[in-house]
Structures are given as C-alpha cells and as structure tokens.
C-alpha cells in the first residue's frame, strides 16, 4: 500500500509537468505579443529551455518529500537538501569556468554558455 501511494504521487507529479513544459517551450511566442523586445524574448526562451529540464525532477522531489514526511521519515530529504546547498554553486562554478572566455567575451553571455556549460550537459 505504501509503494502504491508513492507511485501514485509520482504519476500525479508527472501529469502537470507536460503542460508546464509546453508552456515553457513557447515562452518566446508568449512574450512577443506582450510587447517584449525580440532579443529579450529570445534570451528568455533560451533560459526557459534550461528550466524545462528541471520541471519533472522538481515535482518528483516534492512528491517524494511529501511521501517521506507522511511516513515520518523526513531525514533523507533533509540530508539531500543540505548536501545540495553547497554543491549547487560548486557545480555551476565548475561548468562556467571549464572553458576560458575568448577576448571580448563576457562570462555568462549566451555564446559563452554555449561553449562551456551546455556541452557538459550532453555528456
């Protein structure tokens, strides 16, 4: 019965992710009719593509967190959260500075991220 409740929670978390991801993939087309500059809308779309990758894991983590709290075992999620706090900036720093910026390139710009952070995601 307990496994069934968790499985149901994970499926329930997966269902709303499809419309969220569909909404995120159309971010540029949604922003343009509201008068957003085309360049800003394109940059926002590239940012939203990265966020789309995290929708399902974030909802699954929430479902697992709620399940673990319901069975009075919140410790594993606490330790995962505490481990993620220092590891996230460390991973971001390592990905951003894996490739040195070229002359005139701004770290954090779209071109720099395409050369440094995005190729590491495909590994």
Of the candidates 88, 112, 91, 118, the residue with the CA atom closest to the CA atom of residue 100? 112
One domain, residues 5 and 38: yes
The C-alpha atoms of residue 57 and residue 51 are separated, in whole angstroms, by: 11
41 plus 89 within the same structural domain: no
Rounded Cα distance, 73 and 7, in Å: 17
**Quick one: 66 and 112 in the same domain?**
no
Same domain, yes or no: 84 and 35? no
Q: Are residues 47 and 33 located together in one domain of the fold?
A: yes
The predicted pLDDT at position 119 comes to 53
28 and 44 together in one domain: yes
Compute, in degrees rounded to 10, the torsion defined by CA atoms 112, 90, 85, 11. 60
pLDDT of residue 73: 86
Q: CA 114, 116, 119 angle in degrees (round to 5)?
A: 70
96 and 121 Cβ atoms separated by less than 8 Å: no
Q: Which residues of the chain have pLDDT under 50?
A: 123
What is the token pair recorded at 20?
């969220």
Say whether both 4 and 62 belong to one domain: yes
Q: Are residues 10 and 39 in the same domain?
A: yes
DSSP letter assigned to residue 60: H
Task: Please tell me the distance from the alpha carbon of residue 73 to that of residue 66, in angstroms, as a whole number.
Answer: 10
Total number of domains constituting the chain: 2
Output the pLDDT for position 29: 92
Do residues 60 and 50 share a domain?
Answer: yes
Are residues 96 and 50 part of one domain? Answer: no
Structure tokens at 64: 């697992």
Range of the structural domain that residue 4 is part of: 1-73
3-class state of residue 82 by DSSP: helix
């Amino acid at each position: 019965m307990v496994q069934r409740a968790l499985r149901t929670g994970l499926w329930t978390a997966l269902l709303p992710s499809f419309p969220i991801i569909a909404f995120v993939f159309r971010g540029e087309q949604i922003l343009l009719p509201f008068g957003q500059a085309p360049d800003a809308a394109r940059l926002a779309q590239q940012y939203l593509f990265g966020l789309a990758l995290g929708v399902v894991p974030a909802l699954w983590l929430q479902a697992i967190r709620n399940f673990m709290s319901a069975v009075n075992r919140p410790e594993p999620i606490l330790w995962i959260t505490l481990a993620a706090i220092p590891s996230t900036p460390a991973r971001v720093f390592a990905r951003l500075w894996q490739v040195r910026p070229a002359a005139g390139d701004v770290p954090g710009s779209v071109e720099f991220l395409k050369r440094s952070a995005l190729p590491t995601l495909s590994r």
